[in-house]
Amino acid sequence: MTDVPGGSPKPGRRVQSVLFVCGMNSIRSPMAEALARHYFGKSVYVQSAGVRKGERDPFAIAALDEIGVDGSKHKPRTLEELEEWEGLNFDLIVTLAPEAHHAALDLTRTVAADVEYWPTVDPTLTEGSRDKVLDAYRDLRDGLSFRIRTRLKE
């Protein structure tokens, strides 16, 4: 297991499956899942989950929609639900919040996966006008997009 803050790829090892994890699987991890699927299609198996279950976030859906990525069909789920549904057989687990990182490290006691922590800002903490809040979601989307394309490219 590696705990790589910067998420630098291991030489010679292509990621075939990735799990994105955040606190509630309602904003950060579903955005990352949708972006990874958009960029890598079927060449990388992608899922997302949360430590707890949240609700779909309309700002996250809107920010993805602006760049032609559909996030509207996502159904928030917990790590537990994902494990029961299909198991947790992933090459890479990317955590996007401290709580998710701790949960992923606990999981890797029994699951052979690399864990990387990508600190991301929670856009729901942004106050102000609708445009200012949406800008925070755009910043998150663009940051995730860059990291995903950089980390998962062949």
Cα distances from 65 to residues 54, 75, 94, 118, in angstroms, run 20, 17, 23, 23
Q: What pLDDT shows up at residue 84?
A: 87
Rounded to whole angstroms, the Cα distance separating 116 from 127 reads 29
**What is the number of other CB atoms lying within 10 angstroms of the CB of residue 134?**
16
Whether the per-residue pLDDT at 11 is higher than 90: the answer is: no
Q: What's the pLDDT score for residue 154?
A: 61
Tens of pLDDT, residue by residue over 124-146, are 999 999 999 999 999 999 999 99
In this prediction, residue 30 carries a pLDDT of 97
**Tokens in use for 43?**
């060449």
pTM for this predicted structure: 0.89
DSSP string, 46-114: EEEEESS-----HHHHHHHHTTT---TT----BHHHHHHHH----SEEEE-SHHHHHHHHHHTTTS--E
14 has pLDDT over 90: no
CA distance 32 to 91: 16
Q: At residue 9, does pLDDT exceed 50?
A: no
Residue 6: which pLDDT band, with cuts at 50, 70 and 90? very low
CA 60, 64, 70, 74 dihedral sign is negative
Q: Is 130 left (phi over 0), alpha (psi -120 to 50) or beta?
A: alpha
Domains and CATH numbers, the chain: 17-152 (3.40.50.2300)
Distance CA 114, CA 56 (A): 27
Digit-coded pLDDT (tens) for 52-99? 989 999 999 999 999 999 999 999 999 999 988 887 889 999 999 999
